[in-house]
Amino acid sequence: AQKITQTQPGMFVQEKEAVTLDCTYDTSDPSYGLFWYKQPSSGEMIFLIYQGSYDQQNATEGRYSLNFQKARKSANLVISASQLGDSAMYFCAMRVLQTGANNLFFGTGTRLTVIP
């Protein structure tokens, strides 16, 4: 069975500082993909970053980077130089490629608040 765990219900960070949002996953399949989405108060889900299980390097997208530690089954999101607009819910998700359905399994999310 696939499972995504986000243990931080809420996080606070000072504006312009970096913050790490934790995500651990569990799957027995060797091929999988890991995603991070941002959900502002308006409700839409915004794709941030992707890491494939066979990718050798950690993914980066602008101020977002994914700290992928395969042996520990963790895929933490690092946001550098936090901005007030980063305040939102953040969800970690996993897709197991062998299922064929391409649906994502989501964690319970972390609410990030950026303090001016």
Q: 57: which DSSP letter? A: S
The 20-49 site mask, x for binding another protein (CB under 8 A), equals -------------x-x-x----xxxxxx--
Q: CA–CA distance from 2 to each of 25, 53, 56, 87 (Å)?
A: 8, 14, 22, 28
Q: Nearest approach, Cβ of 27 to another protein (angstroms)? A: 15
Between residue 48 and residue 107, which ones bind another protein under the rule CB under 8 A? Answer: 50, 52, 91, 93, 95, 101-104, 106-107
Q: Nearest approach, Cβ of 100 to another protein (angstroms)? A: 8
Distance between the two ends of the chain, CA-based, in angstroms?
41
Distance CA 90, CA 87 (A): 9
Q: Nearest approach, Cβ of 114 to another protein (angstroms)? A: 21
114: nearest Cα among 10, 9, 6: 10
Q: Does 1 bind another protein (CB under 8 A)?
A: no
Q: Nearest approach, Cβ of 113 to another protein (angstroms)? A: 16
If you search the block for the tokens 């993909």, which residue do you land on?
33
If you search the block for the tokens 């889900």, which residue do you land on?
45
Binding site for another protein (CB under 8 A): 4, 9, 33, 35, 37, 42-47, 50, 52, 91, 93, 95, 101-104, 106-109
